[in-house]
């Protein structure tokens, strides 16, 4: 950390935008987080008729302010990265673009309704800011447990869907259109609603036989929930045990610095070059 290298303004900006270890970087992240959450709340309020009609101008101006802030951030991100194309076509690069552009498009096309959805994507950006490093470390076992149980949960979900299709067809034949089971896809939808114990009640069996089969579906669904839960908890317990036996090497600290070239993160504190692309790292 004692090493001080000549850093251009671009490198400084890179550190502020992409990293969270310096005070300026932390401040940037906090401001960005607040902006994103504000923006999401604005999108929500805009959809409420009574609020939109009262405060339409205020909401419109706020949205423009946020859009411009996001645009500046987007450009800054492109400038400070060595290979902009890598950022632009990365997952977060696309999310950043999609969540910034709707307001500009609305200028050309008019306030298209469906663009609101794109703005909701801004919420995904929260994941980047939080970097979730601290939490991800904590929930590493969980991620491993979920990975280990992936295949079993797939088989399980596959079985649930097959059961839903077959029982849905049976319910369609028993209950019929007059009781709301208008067609097979709707019956299958009802069957999923029931198997997952959600039970909206917008469609409900009326005939005694239908109610009997519905009872079986419910008890089945109630029993089925034990399977993924059992798998995850056993696998998770397994992960914890395995970890205990391994020597702990958590004393190696990985910082949140990200490479200017390839955006790779989690470098060791004493690393001078990116482990991924060999690019020189600046503090």
User: How does DSSP assign 237-267, residue by residue?
Assistant: HHHHHHHHHSPP-TTSPEE----TTT----E
CB of 143 to a second copy, least distance (A): 10
CB of 73 to a second copy, least distance (A): 20
Residue 2, Cβ density class (10 Å: 0-12 exposed, 13-18 middle, ≥19 buried):
exposed
Cα–Cα distance measured from residue 79 to residue 276, given in angstroms and rounded to the nearest whole number:
21
151 binds a second copy (CB under 8 A): yes
Q: Which is nearer to a second copy, 16 or 214 (CB)?
A: 214
Cα–Cα distance measured from residue 86 to residue 140, given in angstroms and rounded to the nearest whole number:
27
Q: Which of residues 46-105 bind a second copy (CB under 8 A)?
A: 47-49
Q: Which is nearer to a second copy, 25 or 221 (CB)?
A: 221
- For residues 56 and 49, the answer to whether their CB atoms sit within 8 Å is no
| Nearest residue to 100 via CA among 61, 126, 74 | 74
Taking the CB of residue 236, how many other CB atoms lie within 10 A of it? 17
Q: Which of residues 170-229 bind a second copy (CB under 8 A)?
A: 170, 172-173, 182-186, 188-189, 192-202, 204, 208, 211-212, 214-215, 218-219, 221-223, 225-229
Kind plus residue range of the DSSP H or E element containing 268: strand 267-268
Q: Which is nearer to a second copy, 6 or 113 (CB)?
A: 113
Q: Which of residues 258-277 bind a second copy (CB under 8 A)?
A: none
Q: Which is nearer to a second copy, 68 or 216 (CB)?
A: 216
Structure tokens at 131: 């970097």
CB of 146 to a second copy, least distance (A): 8
- The stretch among 66-74, 96-104, 120-128, 253-261 that binds a second copy (CB under 8 A) is 120-128
30 binds a second copy (CB under 8 A): no
Among 17, 66, 231, 274, binds a second copy (CB under 8 A): 231
142 binds a second copy (CB under 8 A): yes
Q: Which is nearer to a second copy, 75 or 120 (CB)?
A: 120
Q: Which of residues 239-258 bind a second copy (CB under 8 A)?
A: 240
Kind plus residue range of the DSSP H or E element containing 158: helix 150-175
Angle at 87 (CA atoms; ends 83, 93), nearest 5 degrees:
160
- For residues 257 and 19, the answer to whether their CB atoms sit within 8 Å is yes
CB of 109 to a second copy, least distance (A): 16
113 binds a second copy (CB under 8 A): yes
């Amino acid at each position: 950390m004692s090493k001080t290298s000549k850093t251009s303004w671009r490198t400084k900006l890179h550190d502020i935008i992409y990293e969270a270890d310096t005070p300026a970087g932390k401040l940037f992240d906090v401001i960005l987080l607040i902006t994103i959450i504000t923006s999401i709340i604005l999108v929500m309020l805009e959809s409420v008729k009574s609020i939109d009609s009262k405060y339409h101008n205020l909401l419109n101006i706020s949205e423009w302010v946020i859009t411009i802030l996001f645009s500046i951030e987007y450009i800054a991100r492109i400038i400070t990265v060595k290979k902009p194309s890598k950022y632009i076509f990365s997952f977060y690069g696309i999310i950043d673009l999609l969540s910034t552009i709707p307001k500009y498009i609305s200028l050309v096309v008019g306030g298209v309704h469906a663009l609101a959805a794109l703005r909701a994507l801004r919420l995904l950006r929260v994941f980047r800011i939080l970097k979730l490093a601290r939490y991800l470390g904590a929930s590493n076992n969980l991620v491993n447990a979920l990975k280990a149980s992936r295949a079993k949960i797939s088989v399980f979900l596959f079985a649930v869907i097959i059961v839903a299709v077959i029982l849905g067809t049976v319910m369609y034949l028993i209950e019929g259109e007059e009781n709301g089971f208008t067609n097979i896809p709707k019956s299958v939808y009802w069957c999923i609603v029931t198997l997952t114990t959600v039970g909206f009640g917008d469609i409900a069996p009326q005939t005694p036989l239908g109610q009997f089969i519905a009872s079986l579906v419910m008890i089945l669904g109630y029993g089925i929930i034990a399977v993924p839960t059992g798998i995850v908890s056993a696998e998770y317990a397994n992960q914890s045990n395995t970890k205990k036996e391994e020597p702990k090497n958590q004393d190696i600290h990985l910082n949140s610095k990200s490479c200017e070239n390839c955006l790779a993160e989690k470098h060791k504190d004493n690393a001078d070059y990116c482990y991924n692309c060999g690019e020189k790292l600046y503090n």
